[in-house]
Amino acid sequence: MNKNLKVVVIGGGSSYTPELIEGFIKRYDELKITELHLVDIEEGKEKLDIIYNLSKRMIEKAKLPIKIFQTLDRKSAIKDADFIMTQIRVGGLDARVLDERIPLSHGIIGQETNGAGGMFKALRTIPVILDIVEDVKKYAKKDAWLINFTNPAGIVTEAIYRYTDFDRAVGLCNVPVNMKNQFAKIFDVDEKRVEMDIVGLNHHFFVTDIFVDGKSSIKELLDKYISGELQETPSMKNIESLQWSKSLIKSLKAIPNPYLNYYFMTKEQLQKQKEQFKENDVRAEAVKEIEKDLFREYSNPNLHEKPKRLEERGGAYYSDAACSLVNSIVNNKKDIQYVNVLNRGSIIDFPYDSVIEVASIITSDGPKPMNYGKIPYKLNGTLQTIKTFERMVCEAAVKGDKDLAVAALTLNPLVDSDSVANEVFEEMYKAHKKYLPQFK
């Protein structure tokens, strides 16, 4: 695999791509990419062009022999590829605005990867990703890997493993690595000295232990929150992070993923979102503004590196995590990374054939999950609810089953009534119809 390493980035015109390029440049000593193909669709041509040119300038500045290409022809780009990275956004940010605003107009949380918004993002994305998987199976090298960081990354990876026979896909998210880095700061040690035990799913896991130089330090960490020494649990750019109560932290003996804010602080999150809704400033709308600025900056022919500003975008470390994953697979590094892969009993209470987000040893044969065992009982209800929702959404997306999509919403904790589920589905379906060909 080491010779002529060909990497394809689908959704190459994404604003995140410069971080990816930076990541590959940084690792070139170990990870000698020969060809890098940026692929996008007709609607994204203009952005792709900007990104391609910036990437080219970055590589030139680094004086590396990486050949870079841009194309709208996905199949030919995938031909003989070693790695296919997917970072697409079906319907673009305009669709995300709808994902956030329509639920809010019905009095429920509007969010990109959770609740009704998350479901519709999945319904639009899954058919496209399954098409890409077909291309990978047909055209890429036999031992090629698909690295998906398109959201909702967990649901998308579940769909690949449940509805195709392709078994070389890894879903990736930046939340675990961000949490780890924030914990490292708390303990004032280098990030490399920290590992975590996590249990759960993409955007829905709990940190149940933290190791500093291999020593379990969760009690020390929890005590900092319980005693009030630390005022804030780890958070993400795109989440209004509220503080969990001491009773919750003390009882769960775990740090929840920041996205669980939407579930355990629904009332307050909803109130904040309703204000943003009124001011036309929901997260998607804010991001549209940031993106506009970013692409203006990217277009500057004197820019030869990833601008600082990208970090505001919310996906910091996403692309870097992806480069790191590719590097460990290529070089059989056997380091620990947190990825979305098939459970296969790693967490005993989840279905054997479902996808989980789990600490894994990264080898040239792919990620090998470490064993976690049983879910601590207090965390089980929340996690099983999300997995049920994920599976229903996958099935609805693949079969084009509207009733099932409605039922998934009814059972989702962010939706407060079966009737609301029916209404929201109807309105969102109409709004996104163009991207939902699987539903008759």
Task: Look at the block and give the residue holding tokens 């190459």.
Answer: 12
* Stretch binding a second copy (CB under 8 A), from 114-122, 273-281, 307-315, 358-366: 358-366
SS3 294: helix
Q: Which of 87/111 has CB closer to a second copy?
A: 111
Identify residues 58-97 at the interface with a second copy (CB under 8 A).
none
Among 76, 416, 438, 439, binds a second copy (CB under 8 A): 416
Residue type, 261: N
Number of residues in contact with a second copy under rule CB under 8 A = 73
Measured in degrees and rounded to the nearest 5, phi and psi for residue 410 equal -55, -40
Identify residues 143-202 at the interface with a second copy (CB under 8 A).
195
Identify residues 293-352 at the interface with a second copy (CB under 8 A).
332, 334-336, 344-346, 348-349, 351-352
Angle at 160 between CA 55 and CA 413, to 5 degrees: 100
Are the beta carbons of 163 and 129 closer than 8 angstroms? no
SS3 388: helix
Identify residues 370-409 at the interface with a second copy (CB under 8 A).
370-374, 377-382, 384-389, 391-392, 401-404, 406-408
* Stretch binding a second copy (CB under 8 A), from 20-28, 40-48, 77-85, 242-250: 242-250
Please, which residues have CB within 8 angstroms of residue 368's CB and are 6 or more apart in sequence? 360, 361, 362
Active site residue 259: yes
Identify residues 199-228 at the interface with a second copy (CB under 8 A).
211, 213-216
Measure the CA–CA gap between 25 and 32, rounded to whole angstroms.
Answer: 9
Interaction between residue 34 and a second copy (CB under 8 A): no
> Would strands 255-256 and 355-363 be described as parallel, antiparallel, or unpaired?
unpaired
Among 155, 221, 369, 436, binds a second copy (CB under 8 A): 369
Which of 16, 259, 318, 338 does the annotation list as catalytic? Answer: 259
Please, which residues have CB within 8 angstroms of residue 162's CB and are 6 or more apart in sequence? 353, 354, 391, 394
Measure the CA–CA gap between 166 and 305, rounded to whole angstroms.
Answer: 36
* Stretch binding a second copy (CB under 8 A), from 23-31, 41-49, 247-255, 430-438: 247-255
Q: Which of 41/411 has CB closer to a second copy?
A: 411
Q: Which residues belong to the active site? A: 259
